[in-house]
Structure 1
Amino acid sequence: MRYSYALVPLVSAMQAMAIDPDTWYFGNSLFYLGPPSGNSAITKATYSIVPPTVPSGAKVSNTKDQVWVSVWVGASSSAGDDNTNLYQPIFNWSLDQESQGCSASVDEWCVAASTFTPSGQLGQPYVTVPNNTPVDFEIAVENEKVVQTVIMDGKVVSKESDALDSPLKYLYSSNECYTGSGNCGSLAGYYINNLTVTLSAADSKFDQVMALNGVTDDGFTSSDGGLTWHTEWVKVNSVDFDSSSAVKSDFSSS
């Protein structure tokens, strides 16, 4: 699945009669940034997230077909083309964490650096995120590679380095649900803090390609003529994955 990282499939369900089982859904609460003008590209993105409380109301009828929920910010050369890489360090949660390769309790999130590629998902082992712990992320282009770094309490806990398939033009967020044999319930709101994006060449109008869908921000501004852009926070609203009006079955910015 392009927009998820899991060791086994995951699924979500909306209202039982309206939504087919074993399907991915994406919450209508995200930011979408890109592309910069001309030949400019994204060379680095840094941000911090304290993951929300784990989803409430999730249920499963077959323990061999678990639900899961993911929260991520990803960078790509395209606006969602399956033939391009998506570099997406990711939070993941399931009613059965061990089924996803994580030793966390059901009240905690797991996190890992990961990359979707056209030939499959690449990723590091999941690491438990203690409740209320800020997690710092960096996605950086270095020597024709994209290096993802995940940091907790000042220590690197996950790192992934993959080939840069093409200059990065987009940075966007998502909340994702795989219904499995049940439903994903509701995801509380959270903040993406201290988001800073660095470009390879200045773009004084980069703020104009920051789209906010079901989120608000503190203002996306640059103090160096358009080379580096920053917002103190992006507030992501809560999502009821079991409501057809709150989700969509494919990923898009609209």
Structure 2
Amino acid sequence: MSFTTILSTLALSALVRAAPTPSTDDVYPNYEYGNMFYLGPTTNSQYITKATYSLSVPAPPTDYLTSSPDERWLSLWIGLQDNPNTSDVLDMNFVQPLLNWGPNNAIWGCDADVEHWCAAASTYTPAEQIGQEYVALPSNATLDFVVEVNADTGMIDQSISLAGKIISQESDSKGMQPAVFYSGTECYLDGCGTVDAHSWFNITLELNEADADLDKTMTLTGATSSGMVTTDGGKTWTIESIVIEKQNMTE
């Protein structure tokens, strides 16, 4: 299966996860969704101009099923999209830098072995998936992410950095005004095994206008948050950490 097809399927399933209907069980029965957080949409049409956040990459999963190694994969991500209350989410871009792992990473175009993750800048569009090639990650990596509205071009610039060096970047989605910010733990074909707790941290969201009630839109599923803080009335929000709890993606 090609890189584009794989990422398209991942992003489509992520978007359906955010929609109240149809059920993911009906549309994508081979997917299992784990612990996550969901923030948004903004309360009065404000949008996120810049999101920065980091991830302490967990160890690859254990106890995963060894059947169908060329089809099974696990993905961790935070994505941004426009307000999903105003349109069909499948007709909206979804900016989604990916952390990906599979029993056979090579089939996804990544030269990492089974003990390591892969990462790539990626965006779903209704027409196609736009994504960079996967980059193999070292053990115990910490990644830094930036997703930003480029004031000059109107594009959404995204980057993934490791040890201060950008390893993957993408610019697309001109005119997008992100109003939601949420994470996913996503297993294709079930049987992805046990995923250790991991932390999204140093989260900062900058908005075009203040939204004093943005913190009230946070929901947590199998996750804990340090809480949202603003010192400027809601134009800038920080979250020290959101911990995604350990989970079994095989049950």
Q: Which bracket does the TM-score occupy, shorter chain normalised?
A: 0.7 to 0.9
* Corresponding letter in the other structure for 1:117: T
- Superposed, 1:178-193 pairs within 5 Å as 178-179=188-189, 183-193=191-201
Q: Which amino acid aligns with 2:165?
A: K
Any gaps of 5 or more consecutive residues in structure 1?
A: 11-18, 244-254
Q: 1:196 aligns with which of 204, 208, 219?
A: 204
Pairwise CA distance, 1:5:
7.7
Q: Distance in 2 between matches of 1:9 and 1:205?
A: 33
Change (3 A) 1:145 1:183: same
Matching residue of 2:60: 54
The residue aligned with 1:26 is: 33
**In the alignment, is the contact (CA less than 8 A) between 1:8 and 1:99 conserved in 2?**
no
Q: Secondary structure at the residue paired with 1:99?
A: helix
C-alpha distance 68-82 of structure 1, shift in aligned 2 (>3 A): same
Q: SS in structure 2 opposite 1:57?
A: coil
Q: Which residue of the other structure, out of 124, 129, 148, is the alignment partner of 2:158?
A: 148
Q: Which region of structure 1 is more displaced relative to structure 2, 124-133 or 68-77?
A: 124-133
- 2:72 maps to 67
The match for 1:233 among 226, 230, 241 is 241
Q: Structure 1: how far apart are the matches of 2:184 and 2:39?
A: 12
| Percent identity for Structure 1 against Structure 2 | 36
CA distance in 2 between partners of 1:57 and 1:8 (Å): 27
Q: For the residues of structure 1 that align with 2:97 and 2:7, how far apart are their CA atoms?
A: 14
How do 1:1-254 residues align onto structure 2 when only pairs under 5 Å count? 6=6, 23-27=30-34, 29-63=35-69, 65-79=70-84, 81-142=89-150, 143-179=153-189, 183-243=191-251
| Whole-angstrom CA distance in 1 between matches of 2:58 and 2:5 | 18
* Structure 2: distance between partners of 1:5 and 1:223: 43
Change (3 A) 1:202 1:135: same
SS at match of 2:146: strand
- Larger proportion of helix: 2
**Structure 2 counterpart of 1:249:** none
After TM superposition, the structure 1 stretch with the greater mean CA deviation from structure 2, 143-152 or 35-44, is 35-44
CA contact (8 A) 1:5 1:123 kept: no
Distance 1:191 1:37 in 2: 26
SS at match of 2:181: strand
Check 1:224–1:132 CA distance in 2 against 1; reply closer, same or farther (3 A cut): same
CA, structure 1 residues 221+120, in 2 after alignment: closer, same or farther (shift >3 Å)?
Answer: same
* Residue ranges of structure 2 left out of the alignment (5+ in a row): 11-24
Deviation at 1:164, TM superposition (A): 3.1
Q: How many residues align?
A: 228
Q: Alpha carbons of 1:75 and 1:9: their partners in 2 closer, same or farther (altered >3 Å)?
A: closer
C-alpha contact (below 8 Å) 1:85/1:165 kept by paired residues: no
TM-score by length of 1: 0.84
Deviation per CA, 1:73-118: give whole Å up to 9, x if none. 0000144811101100010001101001101121110001000111
Aligned mates of 2:168, 2:97 — CA distance in 1: 9
Mapped to 1, the partners of 2:31 and 2:82 lie a distance apart of 23
